[in-house]
Amino acid sequence: QQLTYRELNERANQLAHHLQKCGIGTESLVGLCFERSVEMVVGLMGIWKAGAAYVPLDPSNPESRLQYILEDTGIKVLVTNEVLLGWIPKDIKTVCLDRDQAML
């Protein structure tokens, strides 16, 4: 998939506004769990534009490692794709860029 810079910027801005509505801002940590993709770049830029820092979560890591990272960092919001939701605890708010794009 390809995006123009304008499309990338628009999608990142939409995500940033959504994250800010969720209480994300300066000094917040947001998880980012993607395979390398356009969505990963959108997520990264959106998190930065919201003023937060991202915590990379590699979906190829064992589930126990990912769980440890979430607990250790205290992440409350995770940006990901719907296909990767299976291991995420219910108390973590998820923003799925593929599923939630219409509401962003």
Average pLDDT along the chain, 104 residues, taken 10 residues at a time: 94 97 95 95 98 97 95 96 87 91 74
Contact between 81 and 53 under an 8 Å Cβ cutoff? The reply is no
pLDDT on residue 100: 83
Q: What is the pLDDT at residue 31?
A: 98
Provide the CATH topology of domain 5-103: Rossmann fold (3.40.50)
pTM over 0.85: yes
pLDDT given at position 65? 96
